[in-house]
Amino acid sequence: MTHLWVRAEQRPNEERVGLLPEGLAALIAAGIRVSVEHSSVRAIPIDGYRAAGAEIVPENSWPDAPRDAIIFGLKELPEDGTPLPHRHIMFGHAYKGQPAGQQLLRRFMAGGGTLYDLEYLVDETGRRVAAFGYWAGFAGAAVSLKCWAAQQRQALCGPVAKVPSRAALIAALEEDLKGLARPRALIIGALGRVGTGAADLCTAMGVEVTRWDIAETAHGGPFPQVLQHEIFLNCILARPGCPVFVPASATTDPARKLTVIGDIACDPTSDFSPIKIYDRATEWDAPALRVHGTPPLDVTAIDNLPSLMPVESSQDYAAQLLPSLLTLTDLAAGVWGRAHAEFARHSATL
């Protein structure tokens, strides 16, 4: 019997989950055994999973799970260097040359396990079957506006925290922007999930948006228009051939009106990053990284933005992913077979 083990998240500020109780019930009905770890932080209460028929197991007990269990989580595992013998479903961030990702792959190789990277679960056309993109864009645009509002008051943006709903996020942001004229924002990747979420937030806040996608960026740059907007929101994943939207020279460009970059795609350690003025992600307690003083230029690049809205983002993502989870009984085919091939290809380069 296929055995899915839903682990608790161990990363700070991570309350999302990729399976809801109703989805769990569907997996059990399909003949899949499901264990769910207790979690002191998960946004969805454990009682619903218990009522749906899950086997409830101790928090963070996945290293001792049966070897045939498939461990399912979202974000990073503790970076303790231990070999990984299980099959894991998670966001590995390991296929674009990231140093931490290379270490993760080596742990899988040492333990004989396999990574089924959620970012690389794709259909026959290469389109991802499930993504948090919309809520990443929505929350990322909100944090960028919060950073801009702090600048107007000659301050660096303070900590951000989770909110219970979309309405609560908008209400809090309205308070941050109270009394301020709205800036202009340029979104690159505006037609995708991330860009759509970012544009929806901007529209809700009365921010004028310039929407760019493939047609506007196909010439490869340079892109002086980016510097003519107060806020730039990057919603395009780093990948080979990605243009550079913000070169290192942008910080001292005398024509720059840009003061906040929201790198929602957030892949600063990738060789293919399109934003060349910063080199590390930012955190919830310090969301803005000031890369130039006068005039100010701040970058915000939080890599688990949907966690700011953990309930809504979990509900959306779990619904998208469930059809694929129902096919876990055949890991050699479909989305799982393609994800395994990706793992094998990148592991072979170590």
Q: What are the start-end ranges of the H helices in the chain?
A: 21-29, 46-51, 99-111, 133-152, 166-176, 193-204, 214-217, 310-325, 334-347
Looking at the predicted structure, is the pLDDT value of residue 328 above 90? yes
pLDDT above 90 for 267: no
Catalytic one of 3, 86, 88, 93: 93
Beta bridge partner(s), residue 261: 232, 299
Order of strands across the sheet with 87-90? 55-57, 33-37, 3-6, 70-72, 87-90, 114-117
Domain coordinates in residue numbering, the chain? 3-120+310-347, 133-308
Q: Report the pLDDT value the prediction gives residue 56, as an integer from 0 to 100.
A: 98
Residue 207 has pLDDT above 90, yes or no: yes
pLDDT at 269: 86
CA triplet 333, 62, 22: central angle to 5 degrees? 60
Helices (H), 15-98: 21-29, 46-51
| Strand blocks (E) in 10-68 | 33-37, 55-57
* Distance (Å, whole) CA 311 – CA 316: 9
**Is 90 exceeded by the pLDDT of residue 279?**
yes
Beta-strand relationship, 70-72 and 55-57: unpaired
**For position 76, what pLDDT does the model report?**
92
Give the pLDDT of residue 158: 97
Residues 156 and 150: beta-carbon distance below 8 Å = yes
pTM of the model: 0.86
Q: Which of 75, 88, 146, 340 is catalytic?
A: 75
pLDDT of residue 79: 94
CATH number of 3-120+310-347: 3.40.50.720
Q: Is 75 one of the catalytic residues?
A: yes
Question: Above 90 in pLDDT, residue 347?
Answer: yes
- Identical fold between 3-120+310-347 and 133-308: yes
Bridging pattern class, strands 297-300 and 289-292: antiparallel
The C-alpha atoms of residue 209 and residue 199 are separated, in whole angstroms, by 7
| Residue 245 confidence (pLDDT) | 97
H helix and E strand count, the chain: 9, 12
CA 183 centroid distance within chain: 25
**Average pLDDT score over residue span 42-52:** 97
Q: How far is CA 182 from CA 280, 315, 332, in A?
A: 28, 31, 51
CATH assignment of 133-308, among 3.40.50.720, 3.30.300.130, 3.20.20.80, 3.40.50.300: 3.40.50.720
Q: What pLDDT does residue 223 have? A: 97
Has residue 221 got a pLDDT over 90?
yes
Segment 56-71 mean pLDDT: 98
The string of DSSP letters for 104-169 reads HHHHHHHHT-EEEEGGG-B-TTS-BS---HHHHHHHHHHHHHHHHHHHHTT---------SSHHHH
Q: What are phi and psi of 106, to 5 degrees?
A: -65, -35
The DSSP symbol for 183 reads: -
Residue 46 burial by Cβ neighbours in a 10 Å radius (0-12, 13-18, 19+)? middle
pLDDT value at 197 more than 90:
yes
CA distance 84 to 113: 5
Residue 83, pLDDT above cutoff 90:
yes
Q: How many CB atoms lie within 10 A of CB 204?
A: 16
- What pLDDT, on a 0 to 100 scale, did the predictor assign at position 236? 94
Q: For residue 290, what are the CA distances in angstroms to 137, 145, 294, 336?
A: 21, 15, 10, 41
Which pLDDT score is estimated for 239?
Answer: 86
* 96 a catalytic residue: no
pLDDT tens column, 230-251:
999 999 988 888 999 999 999 9
Residue 294, classified by CB atoms within 10 Å of its CB into exposed (0-12), middle (13-18) or buried (19+), is exposed
pLDDT of residue 277: 96
